Structure 1
Amino acid sequence: MISVAEAQARLLALASPLPSVELELAKAARHYLHGPLHAKRTQPAADLSAMDGYALSSAAFPGPWHVIGESAAGRPFAGALEHNQAVRIFTGAHVPAGADTILIQEDAARDGDTVMATAKDTLAPGMHIRTAGGDFSSGDTVLATGTMLEAGPCALAAMAGHGTVRVGRWPHVTIVATGDELLPPGRECSAAEIPSSNSPMLHAMLSNLPCEIMDAGIIADRLTDLETRLSALASTTDIIVTTGGASVGDHDLVQTALRNIGADIDFWKVAMRPGKPVMAGKIGDTIVLGLPGNPSSAFVTAFLFLLPLIRHMAGSLSPLPEIFEAKSDNPLFQGGNRAEYVRARVEGGAITAFTTRDSGLVSPLSHSNALIIRDVDAPATPSGAAVQYHRLF
Structure 2
Amino acid sequence: MNKYIKIINYICSEEMISVEEAKDLIVKYGTKLPIKEKSLNEAQNAVLAEDVLAPINLPPFRQSAMDGYAVNLSPKSDHYTIIGEVAAGESNSQELKIGEGVRIFTGAAVPDSANAVIMQEWVTKKANHIVLNSNAKELKNNMNIRPLGEQVQKGTLALSKGIQLNSSALGFIQSFGMEQIKVYKSPSISLIITGNEIVLPGNSLPFGSIYESNSLTLKTALNNAGYNDITINYAQDNLDEMKQKIERAMNTSDVVLVSGGISVGDYDFTKTAFEILEVKEHFHKIAQKPGKPLFFGSKESTSFFGLPGNPASALVCLYEYVIPHMLYRTGAQNPMPTTIQLPLKHDYLKRGERSQFLKAKINANNVEILDGQASSMLHTFALANCLVYIPSNLTSISKGEFVEVHLIR
The TM tier, using the shorter chain, reads over 0.9
- Of 80, 86, 89, the match for 2:95: 80
Q: Secondary structure at the match of 1:278?
A: strand
Report deviation, 1:355.
4.3
1:230 partnered with 2:255: no
1:251 partnered with 2:267: yes
- Residues 183 and 96 (structure 1), Cα distance of their counterparts in 2 relative to 1, 3 Å cut: same
Q: Which residue in 2 is equivalent to 1:366? A: 382
- Residues 97 and 323 (structure 1), Cα distance of their counterparts in 2 relative to 1, 3 Å cut: closer
Deviations 1:334-353 (A, max 9, x none): 45332122222232222332
1:328 partnered with 2:326: no
- Residues 262 and 352 (structure 1), Cα distance of their counterparts in 2 relative to 1, 3 Å cut: same
Contact 2:77 2:99 in 1 (8 A): no
Alpha-carbon separation, structure 2, partners of 1:28 and 1:312: 17
Q: Which residue in 1 is equivalent to 2:32? A: 17
1:129 partnered with 2:129: no
Report deviation, 1:214.
2.3
Deviations 1:135-180 (A, max 9, x none): 2110111111112211221221122332211111111111111111
- Residues 292 and 58 (structure 1), Cα distance of their counterparts in 2 relative to 1, 3 Å cut: same
- Of 359, 378, 389, the match for 2:394: 378
- Residues 111 and 306 (structure 1), Cα distance of their counterparts in 2 relative to 1, 3 Å cut: same
* Count of residue correspondences: 393
Alignment of 1:94-173 (within 5 A): 94-119=109-134, 121-173=137-189
Report deviation, 1:357.
4.5
Q: Secondary structure at the match of 2:224?
A: coil
% identity of equivalent residues: 27
Alignment TM-score, normalising by the size of structure 1: 0.93
Q: Which residue in 1 is equivalent to 2:213? A: 197
Alpha-carbon separation, structure 1, partners of 2:245 and 2:137: 79
Q: Which residue in 2 is equivalent to 1:69? A: 84
Alpha-carbon separation, structure 1, partners of 2:97 and 2:206: 89
- Of 307, 310, 313, the match for 2:329: 313
1:354 partnered with 2:370: yes
Alpha-carbon separation, structure 1, partners of 2:379 and 2:105: 57
Report deviation, 1:3.
0.8
- With 228-237 and 352-361 compared, the bigger mean Cα shift is at 352-361
Alignment of 1:293-312 (within 5 A): 293-312=309-328
Amino acid at match of 1:156: F
Alpha-carbon separation, structure 2, partners of 1:291 and 1:302: 8
Contact 1:146 1:317 in 2 (8 A): yes
Report deviation, 1:356.
4.3
Report deviation, 1:363.
2.6
Alpha-carbon separation, structure 1, partners of 2:159 and 2:282: 36
Amino acid at match of 2:159: L
User: Which sections of structure 1, spanning at least 5 residues, go unmatched?
Assistant: none
Contact 1:62 1:116 in 2 (8 A): no
1:210 partnered with 2:236: no
**For the aligned residues, what is the CA RMSD?**
2.1
